Structure 1
């Protein structure tokens, strides 16, 4: 930790959860510096913000070249198979880029890694999307962070850069559907991206060691 507070490294700052993470980290008195890794320069400007603009195929060398020394790494990278265009392209983003970023964060000194995954993630899943998410979780876990916090939301809702008509319809129904999801179904409840971001920052500041998987109930509790 620097004398001016913690240093956060953030990937996925232009996405739904990432945008909220960036705002929270910049506003937090606990963080003296926030380093983002993006493919395009962000419009945001702030005295605490340092931007690394790079192709994620070269993320490890780009972070190393920046000389950043970080405490906490936040990964909100992710796409959909439809947006990626194919299963291989989806895997490139949700596995290769995520793991590459984790390696870069570890090399930069990060002790804690906070990852946005998805409910149902599992390396043995028969569903391609869930299997890739699970494989990414396991690969990041093997890197050796002191604390690994995996956030598995159900439907994420909030303002997105791209239109997703099906999700918009489900989001409109979420206030009615969520109360119907009880027992084991609670973990599938829709949750705002901002709530996930708040939970991630809270988990980082608590600094608990070990591997932690957080679903709806845990995220809601942390975000309060």
Structure 2
């Protein structure tokens, strides 16, 4: 973690996911509020969880005060099966949460996107991620940290598509021949990097690709040592 002296009031969505499940334990000592569709968050001093449909998440922040908003939520094609629902979760749910957190006072947003995210891409997936990035960047946060990891490695159970599973299986070989930005990376590594960013001073929009993510995670390991 960074050396912020006062506990940060953090609003988090995605605590049950691949990255969020690794991130939450790293936030002990912070004032964490998780918004989720089902109860999942462990117990720790200062932690709270509000459970309800994701359409209700913005309303759950109306009487809260937030310093940092963190969005690790993301779905898979295997789970939703259509672009409309994918857009509803990976773009609109994130943007609506971020807007409500900004209204609740958050100065910083940390959000997981994807390598190669681009509103002008020919890939619908990358377009949605690029639109989400542009939307949250326009909300008036003092600082926005956008995580753009490559293919995420880690346990997701049955949600993974066959092609995604094969990609992860072959990643040690494939990583030798593809650009670093799109190489496979562990979800836990991304979580460690995000924990390092919580409460950091500074302003503007910063994009973190695999190289920056690994460097932040390595710094976290040095701090714990």
Give the TM-score, by structure 2 length: 0.89
* Residue pairs, 1:141-152, within 5 angstroms: 141-152=137-148
Partner of 2:118: 122
RMSD between superposed Cα atoms in Å: 1.8
SS of 1:100's partner is: helix
**1:91 CA drift (Å):** 0.7
The number of equivalent residue pairs is 214
1:9–1:37: 8 Å Cα contact kept in structure 2? yes
Quick one: distance in 1 between partners of 2:159 and 2:91? 24
**1:47 CA drift (Å):** 2.3
**1:110 CA drift (Å):** 0.8
SS of 2:115's partner is: coil
Partner of 2:195: 201
Match of 1:45 among 38, 43, 46: 43
1:15–1:161: 8 Å Cα contact kept in structure 2? no
Quick one: distance in 1 between partners of 2:121 and 2:43? 41
Quick one: distance in 2 between partners of 1:161 and 1:195? 19
**1:218 CA drift (Å):** 0.7
Partner of 1:99: 95
Extract structure 1 runs of 4+ deviating beyond 4 A.
none
Partner of 2:223: none
Higher relative contact order (CA 8 A, sep 6+): 2
Partner of 1:7: 9
Quick one: distance in 2 between partners of 1:191 and 1:198? 12
SS of 1:162's partner is: helix
Q: Does 1:169 align with 2:171?
A: no
Instruction: Give CA deviations for 1:145-199 in whole Å, capped at 9, x if unaligned.
Output: 0000101111001122434243333223222322333xxx110111001111111
Quick one: distance in 2 between partners of 1:21 and 1:89? 25
Give the TM-score, by structure 1 length: 0.89
Instruction: Give CA deviations for 1:63-87 in whole Å, capped at 9, x if unaligned.
Output: 21xx321211110111123311211
Match of 2:52 among 42, 51, 54: 54
Quick one: distance in 2 between partners of 1:205 and 1:195? 19
**Structure 2 gap ranges (5+):** 219-225
2:193–2:217: 8 Å Cα contact kept in structure 1? yes
Which shifted more, 78-87 or 131-140?
A: 78-87
